A and B are shown apart, each in its own frame.
Chain A
Amino acid sequence: MSRIKLFPTCLASLLFPRAADAARRVLERAGFEVSTPRAAVCCGQPAWNSGHVEEARRVARGALAALRGEETVVLCSGSCTTMVSHYWPQLFEGTEHEDDARSVAARAREFSSFVAEATRDGDLGELRSPRAVAVAYHDSCHMLRGLGVSGAPRALLGRVAGLEVRELDAQERCCGFGGTFSLRYPELSSEMADEKVDDIAAHGVDEVVGSDLGCLMQIRGRAEARDVAIPCRYIAEVLDEAMDGSR
């Protein structure tokens, strides 16, 4: 059985542990032996994206040490996967951790693209949504343009019986989260989220599924502030529930 390391990411660890739990169960169902190293806390992106390199390195160092080895590293976020696979080699360039960073970068995989490639139809058992729902898949920017992944999560959702995936109008436009961007310019970020919320609402979907908890927090948080109900779920939770539905 191949072993993988699951990196839940700080956001999942703090606020959305169910998302990471679901990812673990899906990976286990797919036949992997999953470990979740305690020291893999955060990839350092909040500081890195704000230009604070030293601080990003301080935080990322712990995760880097925890992810040494040979195993594939699966992350519950397209954004954090971009950070690890594209930016860690830069972040640790010229330090004693340079080689380790390159090694992890090469082994880092975003959850949905990893699962879509590592499994075939049926490998996760019969996938059935417990209720018939229409969902919109939200492309997060780092996943779409950083990793170039848009088909894999849709393919996974397509395997779930009873689920209809609808495309939004401005599918590729940013939801305005941008990590610390939303803290720096909260009102501007809200206006950006509003366009996404309106787009989603216009498509009459029951929920939004995504691969980045940050975007989902932004969309749901903004929708609720406007009294629009848009349930948001991390993609692994949908798959996990669909596995249950078939058990």
Chain B
Amino acid sequence: MSLDYDYSSDFGERALVSLDQPKMRSAIKGAVEQQAVGRNAGLATLKDAPALREVAARIRDHNLSHLDGHLERLAETWEAAGGSVFFAADAAEARAYVLDVARSVDARTAVKSKSMVTEEIGLNRALSEAGVEPVETDLGQYIVQKAGEPPSHIVAPAIHKSKEDVAELFSTLAGRPLPNDAHELTDYARVLLRRHFLGAELGISGVNFGVADEGTLCLATNEGNGRMCTSMPRAHVAIMGMERVVWDFEQLAVLINLLARSNTGQKITQYTSLLHGPRRAGEPDGPEQSHLVILDNGRSNILGTRFHQALRCIRCGACLNVCPVFRQVGGYAYDPVYSGPIGAVITPLLKGTKEAGDLAHASTLCAACSEVCPVRIPLHDLLLYVRQEFARDGASGAERAAYRAWSHAWATPRRFALFVGAGRLLGWLARGRSLPKLPLPLLGRWTRGRRLPELPRGGGRRT
């Protein structure tokens, strides 16, 4: 399904591919609605959700304005706990480091806890090419991996699939028909995954929050797979976007209180793990090596700019779930890694607005995203600012010329009166009928789906 999407084309083309897939669209609509309802109920269990969100926003701004100090402290405390730290400037450096670790433990299999940052750096492909089989262990992520697809939602990777789709996929894998039942399908995956957990030499995870002053990494999962990935294999590598750091447990508590609530409405995820380096003498479990990769990959370019609030993001997915565009087209119409409103902001910032800035137009600027963001990122304003960058370096010459011409035409009341006059003439010609379909390239597509308004009899602009 994802193979139909051409990532060298633009959002508009990919949106059309999505619109053509009714089954996928109905799965997405059902799921995002359920999550959005859950989110509202989840926040309602807080005494004063708006105040807590305000505090969360301030915490994140504090983290970002002291990012260097926070990261330095995290590296120090993580190393003191017996772990290793690597600062990766870009995706290639991060991949190379993970491969080095994989070699050091002769890894043939790497079990992975769901992590969007590993999608961002294309880690699975690099592992496969190096002869290490990456096995996704989050059920949703396992489903899309088996289907040969990227995740379509930053929190719920298989949101575009129905239970029937999964039954079909797993039946093919199993070579026998599996019932259309969530428990049975989960059991099927569970047995297979258990084997991988026991055999893998390397475990890979993302990081929800790095707690700087504590040398602790926080991982929020719902299936316990994250705990297995980070404790069973000989080596664990955690990969963290450099902005995902907080100072202490007090700050962590505020954000954890909002993270799962903003997504599914849960008060807290089923498993909220706090990792503190490798296994110590006398401990029964835990990895021998604990590596922390702190990834920049374009993030530091956002710091201190008018886009810096985008780095507050804690990846809860609430903005995707309420977005009227996402619900129609799903994640694949955006960039295959970060989708929805937050993806439409950060993808162009990470990849370049010239290349990916058109994503910022994938919004009506309705601001439903900004309204639900737990850390109060003004997403609709940031989308607007990305559009400004795109207008300068990515928009077509035709678009620029059209806006220039329009701006001159409407710059004075006298020129505008010509348009009103033209409308009056057309209105007289049409005599109350609506305008015929226009054979113009842009308006043609527009008028195909909607009837134009009747032109006012006697023309416009009275009062």
Residues of A that sit less than 8 Å from B by CB: 6, 8, 10, 12-18, 20-21, 23-24, 36, 38-39, 41-42, 46-56, 58-59, 61-62, 141-142, 145-146, 172-174, 176-179, 181-193, 217-218, 220-222, 224-225
Contacts and interface: CB of A to CB of B under 8 A. Distances in A.
Contacts of B400: 52
A181 B363 contact: yes
Contacts of A222: 449-450
B188 interface: no
B371 interface: yes
A38 B388 contact: no
Contacts of B445: 186-187
B390 A51 contact: yes
A87 to B, nearest CB: 8
B361 A184 contact: yes
Nearest to A16: B456
Interface in B137-168: none
Interface string B387-404: 111111001000110011
Interface string B359-397: 011111111101100000000000010111111100100
Dominant secondary structure of chain B at its interface with chain A:
helix
B7 interface: no
Contacts of B9: none
B462 A20 contact: yes
B89 interface: no
Interface in B8-25: 11-12, 15-16, 19
Contacts of B363: 178, 181
A188 B19 contact: yes
A50 B407 CA distance: 13
Interface stretch (B62-70, B90-98, B122-130, B411-419): B411-419
Shortest 10 CB-CB distances between A and B: which pairs? A178-B364, A51-B387, A221-B450, A51-B391, A55-B407, A141-B366, A190-B449, A174-B366, A224-B451, A51-B388
A178 B324 CA distance: 11
Nearest to B329: A188
Contact of A58 (B365, B407, B442): B407
Contacts of B15: 185, 187-188
B370 A145 contact: yes
A151 to B, nearest CB: 17
A58 B364 contact: no
Contacts of A188: 12, 15-16, 19, 325, 328-329
B138 to A, nearest CB: 30
B391 A192 contact: no
29 contacts: A8-B463, A17-B462, A23-B463, A41-B416, A47-B406, A50-B361, A50-B399, A52-B400, A55-B403, A56-B407, A58-B408, A142-B365, A146-B367, A173-B368, A174-B364, A181-B361, A181-B364, A182-B446, A183-B442, A184-B361, A186-B445, A186-B450, A187-B16, A188-B325, A188-B329, A192-B325, A217-B453, A220-B453, A225-B450
Contact of A218 (B19, B419, B450): B450
A139 B462 CA distance: 26
Contacts of B449: 186-187, 189-190, 222, 225
B416 A192 contact: no
B366 A145 contact: yes
Given A6-B463, A55-B403, A190-B450, A18 B456 contact: yes
A178 B406 contact: no
Given A10-B416, A146-B367, A221-B453, 8 more contacts: A14-B423, A15-B455, A50-B399, A51-B388, A174-B364, A185-B362, A187-B16, A188-B19
B461 interface: yes
B80 to A, nearest CB: 46
Nearest to B360: A51
Contacts of B365: 49, 141-142, 178, 181
A16 B223 CA distance: 56
B182 interface: no
A177 B325 CA distance: 11
Nearest to B452: A221
Interface in B156-207: none
B420 interface: yes
B411 A14 contact: no
B391 to A, nearest CB: 3
B224 interface: no
Contacts of A221: 450-453
Contact of A55 (B11, B368, B404, B448): B404
Given A41-B416, A50-B391, A218-B450, A21 B462 contact: yes
A217 to B, nearest CB: 5
Contacts of B434: 224
B214 to A, nearest CB: 38
A12 B19 CA distance: 32
B371 A145 contact: yes
A14 B419 contact: yes
Contact of B459 (A17, A49, A53): A17
B413 A41 contact: yes
A9 to B, nearest CB: 11
B324 A192 contact: yes
A225 B406 CA distance: 28
Interface in B320-377: 324-325, 328-329, 360-368, 370-371
A225 B371 CA distance: 32
B460 interface: yes
Nearest to B448: A186
